[in-house]
Every structure is written in structure tokens, then in C-alpha cells.
Amino acid sequence: MKFSIIIPVKEINDYIRTAMPHYKNMEFDDYEILIFPDHVDDAVAIEDVFKALGDKVRIIPSGETGPAEKRDMALEYAKGEYIAFIDDDAYPAAQWLTKAYELLQGSDVGAVGGPAVTAPEDDIWQQASGKTYESKLCSAGYTYRYIPEPRRDVDDLPSVNLIVKADLFKKIGGYDSNYYPGEDTKLCLDIVNTGHRIIYDPEILVYHHRRRMFKAHLKQATNYAKHRGYFAKVLPQTSRKFAYFVPSLFVLGLILGPILAIFFPFIWYIYGGVLALYFVLLALSIHKPGSFSVWILTMAGIFTTHVGYGIRFVQGLLSKELLR
């Protein structure tokens, strides 16, 4: 067995059902799929999942536990030489494992991954969430996680599209569930610290259903921000980077500008000019918006993401420990 595909999920859902045909259509056929729901109590749902792929799929109840713990169940159940992590709300492109297998043959390669592109069937609220992440003004130098960009070595990839050599995964001891979400950052750091490379390649591609604007999107983005702030303190090798601090500096400027302008009125001109420039850059940074509605929603999404991320990053930076 070459690949064990690991899908943590709370319950068998519509995303899992619609994803199964995409696995069947992959070019690389030597794999198993392990799905870890909390419980298995719906015979019809199970039958639906098995219908497309038959005995390639195993559904293993994990009990009520988090995604990181479910992914670590690969240590016990996975039979493949390589462990491919993907989320329940994502599905692979046809060449996903083909390209991964090619790159994993390098002895110095510990893991590979690629972009998680917004699923084309998502509605405009989800498309706007995806466009927010695709913007250079929002994701800075990390847009390669959301749109295909040239191959490169990286030190951090999200577990929505991360494929690790099984023996290395076992040697490391799997994920550190104390860091969810963000356990993938810790795992990638552990991989790099063993002296292995992590390769990003645009052809190792999955499609990812985004959270809808605004509530679900902001909940996800700000939760990551809190953990990234904490990681900037405890995992500085990969998380103490200036780009992660920029939203907090932006929020600080939004707050201090009007206060300082009370005492120094000329600051209003600077404040207004900087904000005007910000919104021009924001509007220009949106990657192929497609429609005016998505463009407007994305502009609002980037601004609210900056503010929410900036606040929660500081919260994480000041936290003594992360509570789930």
C-alpha cells in the first residue's frame, strides 16, 4: 500500500459523500481512505460513502475527540508508506497523489503538499472567503497555500493538503494535539528539525470548500491568529515572522490615529491618506474576483480579517498557554 488518506470528521456529511467520486477519479490507484468520525450510527450514510470506492474505504469511529487526535490514529491504523492528510471539506485533483509520489522518492524529502484552491462550486460568500485568503494584502507571501504558485521548499503547510512519509511521521510521534488548530505548524517544524525537506508543488492540488462570509470565515481566521500569536512566542523558528505582526500594527494604527489627532490635528491628514492608500491597495490586491459582488465582499472580508486577526494575534502572544 503506497498511500493512506486520512480524513478526520465529526460525522459522515455531505462534503464526504460528494468527495468520494473525486478520489475514484485520481490517476494514482494504490491507496486506502481512512475516515474517522466521532461515531458510526447511520447505516445509510455509511453505505453512501462506500458505494463509490468499496473496500478502499475504512470508517473507524474515534469517539468524541478533535481533528489532531483523529489524525494521530493513522499511527495505529494506516497501512501506507505515505500518509496523506486532507480535510473532510476538501477533495483532490486527479494528479494529487501522482505528483506527490514522484517527489517523495527523494531521500531528503520528509513531506510534500500544495495549494488548497477554493472549490469552483462554492457560492459567492464562500468565494469571497477564498479570495480574501488569495489576496497578497491578506496572506502576504503565503498565497501559494491558496493558489498554484511555483515549486519551492517551505517550512509550514496546513493539514488540508499535507503528505508525510509514514516512517517519519511515526518517528516524530504524530501531531501535537495540544496545539489545535495549528498542530500542523508543530508537525512541520518537527519534520524540518529532523533535517528533512518539505516541498510545495502546485500540482499537488486539492479543492477546498471555504467557510462562508462573515461569521464562519472570521471565526476560522481569528482562531488561527490566536494560535499564530502564541506560536510566535513558543515556536519562533517558523512563526516569529514580521508578516504575522502586520495586522496587529494595523489595528494599533487604527486606534492611535484618532487619539493622537486630538492633540495634533495635522495627523488627520496623514491618517486619512494612509487609509485611502490602504483601501486602494486592498481593491487592487484581489486575485481574479470574477464578479462585482465577490469583489465587494472580498474587500470587506480583507478589512475585517485584518482587524480580527490583529486583535487575536496579540491575545495569543500574551497567552501563557492555549486552551482549546
CB 142 within 8 A of CB 195: no
Residues in the chain: 324
Are 108 and 247 in the same domain? no
Q: Would strands 206-208 and 116-118 be described as parallel, antiparallel, or unpaired?
A: parallel
Look up cell 490583529; give the residue.
310
Per-residue model confidence as pLDDT tens digits over 99-147: 999 999 988 999 999 999 999 999 999 999 999 999 998 888 899 999 9
Question: Band of the pLDDT at 181, cuts 50, 70, 90?
Answer: low
Higher-pLDDT residue of 234 and 196 is 196
Q: Are residues 259 and 206 in the same domain?
A: no
Inside any domain, residue 137: no
Band of the pLDDT at 178, cuts 50, 70, 90?
A: low
Q: 142 lies in a domain?
A: no
What's the confidence (pLDDT) of residue 210? 95
Grid-cell match 471565526, residue found? 219
Which tens digit of pLDDT belongs to each residue from 274-317?
Answer: 999 999 998 888 888 888 999 999 999 999 999 999 999 998 88
Both 189 and 257 in one domain: the answer is: no
Q: pTM value?
A: 0.88
Q: For residues 232 and 245, what is the distance between their CA atoms, to the nearest angstrom?
A: 9
pLDDT of residue 48: 67
* CATH number of domain containing 174: 3.90.550.10
Q: Are residues 185 and 227 in the same domain?
A: no
Together in a domain, 95 and 107 = yes
Q: Which residue has the higher pLDDT, 310 or 186?
A: 310
Residue 256 lies in a domain: yes
Residues 168 and 181 in one domain: yes
User: Mean pLDDT for the chain?
Assistant: 89
pLDDT tens by residue, 23-62: 989 999 999 999 999 887 765 566 666 667 777 888 888 8
pLDDT value, residue 47: 64
What is the amino acid identity at position 305? T
User: Both 257 and 304 in a single domain?
Assistant: yes
- Residue 1's pLDDT band, with cuts at 50, 70 and 90, is low
Give the domain range for residue 242: 215-318
Q: Residues 71-105: pLDDT tens digits?
A: 988 888 999 999 999 999 999 999 999 999 999 99
Check residues 181 and 233 and name the one with the higher pLDDT.
Answer: 233
**Same domain membership, residue 288 and residue 249:** yes
pLDDT at residue 324 above 60?
no
For the record, the C-alpha cell of 173 comes out as: 510521534
Same domain membership, residue 105 and residue 62: yes
pLDDT of residue 237: 73
pLDDT score at 180: 59
Dihedral (CA of 303, 306, 310, 312) sign: positive
Residue 63 and residue 173 in one domain: yes
Considering the domain architecture, whether residues 187 and 245 belong to the same structural domain is answered as no
Total domains, the chain? 2
Do 202 and 282 share a structural domain? no
**147 belongs to a structural domain:** no
Q: What does the block give as the cell for 134?
A: 488569495
Q: What angle do CA 231, 245, 268 make, to 5 degrees?
A: 155
Question: What letter does residue 10 receive in the DSSP assignment?
Answer: S
pLDDT of 182 reads: 66
